[in-house]
Amino acid sequence: MVRSTPGSCDRRIGNCCARSAASMRSSTSSAPVTLPLRLGLRFSTSTRAETDSGWISAPDGVHWSLTREDLLMEHVDVAVIGAGPAGSSAATWAARSGARVALFEKSTQGRDKSCGDGLTPRAVAELRRLGVDISRFHRIDGLRVQAGTKEREVLWPDGAFPNMGAVAPRAEFDALVLQTALDAGAQLHEHSVAEPVIERGRVIGVQVGSEVTRADLVVVASGAGSPAAKMLGATRVEGSPFGLAIRAYVPSTKADDRHMEACLTVKGPDGALVPGYGWVFPAGNGIVNVGVGALSTMRNFSQLNLNTMLDSYMAQVGRAWGLGEPVARPKAWRLPMHVENRSGPGWVAVGDAAGLVNPFNGEGIDYALESGRHAAELFAINPGTVHAAYDALLAKEYDPFFATARRFAWVIGRPRLLQFLLGIALSTGFTMELVLDIMANLIDSEHRSLAGVLLAGGGRVMSVFDPILQRSQESGTSDIRAKIEASR
């Protein structure tokens, strides 16, 4: 654990007090004031506080009293739980704004994560903003979509986002983004299972074992359904769609292909279509990421066996991709796509913990990076209103798209209706480009576009299915969870 010495803690408190006191005197009379220090501590009319390293003199006109225990406790501006893309993004932007940031990770730097590893142009744009160089990763120029006997390739569009993507294995990618946060000044605490500390309805810091770190803002970036998220009520909205996915790293003779491949007609061992979709993402260096996924709205979802589904899909595409045997055991994961309680006094949830996963394609890295930045920027503007401002931003900038995508999740679960719509989507290059813009959310919100108009209009039409979505059943969920655990 990285801890502050009493002396360094004292200096930080003194500097904080001096800044706050100066601000208060500039807007009030010269009468003595009681300074809250943003720490929620006890105060009296004393002008000095005793610590193990001596006495701290309060700035003129400021009165305080602190216990020795308070002063020995570490204090930061922002505490981040989880060092994945969302947490590292939040830590980077907060540290760059001058905040003292503590980043808590339950494992070690560079840990693996179940993921498709795909970076869309939207994610690339956010990584460039963050200053992360992804040139080491395999470049992707477009998408190849298969549905039955139809296949169509499209390039990433020119426009508001870069016309490139990438495939970045998560162990290496997460370590790269985390290093950006450390370079910005964030302090990393590895092997630290942090839990929010709640006092009078407000999150005032985090606790690891018996050690407490107080913070003005706690950012929950520990993933969907994590203990920290559950403690604060950041849980899946009952009845909303969710996804399941499994992936494997597999040797391939076409690992240098510049197109991600998505298959919307996955066949089972008997040749019949199964409710789900498959992907092959070439990572270069002789390896591809192969996986399958399914949405809870799909028929017979509770009877799905992810491992069998993956084996069938690998057999389906094995010859075309020159696949070998998986280099490691496949990993599976669950994708909640609608979370309630994404923020509250003293805390915000970002990335998967906030349910920011695209129901169209299961993608979440771009939204993880963006939400981390938004949380840090709003904290820099006003620490006291960050949770309300953050929730309002999500409601305005993200919720309309996600609501429409969740509605289309119902369509995806109806094979005949899906086949009809796929026939239209794959009929021409123009329609496929529109579908790509919509599904990957490559729509420029500041400029009117056909894709944006279709998305908004489709959302309004599909809203009639909201009651059906809300009645989505959870039957078989426990069996599915057992299958996920068995595949890890």
Residue of 322, 327, 298, 293 whose CA lies nearest to 310: 293
Strands 62-63 and 202-208: unpaired
Sole residue written with tokens 């401002």:
389
Task: Give me Rg for the CA atoms of the chain.
Answer: 25
- Tokens standing for 235? 């849980």
Q: Rounded to the nearest 5°, which phi and psi values hold at 104?
A: -110, 125
**What CA–CA distance (Å, rounded) separates 52 from 6?**
7
**Crossing angle of helices 121-130 and 365-381, rounded to 10°:** 40
Identify whether the C-beta of residue 6 lies closer than 8 Å to the C-beta of residue 54: no
Residue of 11, 226, 200, 212 whose CA lies nearest to 102: 212
Q: What is the pTM of this model?
A: 0.79
Q: Where are the alpha helices (DSSP H) in 97-167?
A: 121-130
Low-confidence ranges of the chain (pLDDT < 50): 1-58, 61-66, 68, 472-488
Q: Where are the alpha helices (DSSP H) in 102-247?
A: 121-130, 170-184, 227-231
Give pLDDT, residue 115: 80
- Can you count the helices (H) and strands (E) in the chain? 15, 22
**Crossing angle of helices 121-130 and 170-184, rounded to 10°:** 30
Give pLDDT, residue 322: 97
Give pLDDT, residue 469: 53
In terms of residues, how long is the chain? 488
**What CA–CA distance (Å, rounded) separates 359 from 340?**
16
Is 134-165+242-336+412-488 a domain of CATH 2.160.20? no
Give pLDDT, residue 2: 41
Q: What is the CATH number of domain 77-113+169-235+338-397?
A: 3.50.50.60
Give the residue extent of every domain in the chain.
Answer: 6-72, 77-113+169-235+338-397, 134-165+242-336+412-488
User: What digits encode the pLDDT tens for the residues 208-233?
Assistant: 999 999 999 999 999 888 999 999 98
Give pLDDT, residue 253: 98
Coil vs helix vs strand at 94: helix
**What CA–CA distance (Å, rounded) separates 219 from 152?**
41
Give pLDDT, residue 69: 54
Q: What b/e readout covers 102-130, taking b as 16+ CB neighbours within 10 angstroms? A: bbbbbeeeebebbbbbbbbbbbbbbbeeb
Strand-pair partners of 419: none
Q: Where are the alpha helices (DSSP H) in 322-442?
A: 365-381, 386-397, 399-412, 415-425, 429-439
For the residues of 64-81, what is the DSSP string, one character each?
----HHHHHSEEEEEEEE
Give pLDDT, residue 33: 36
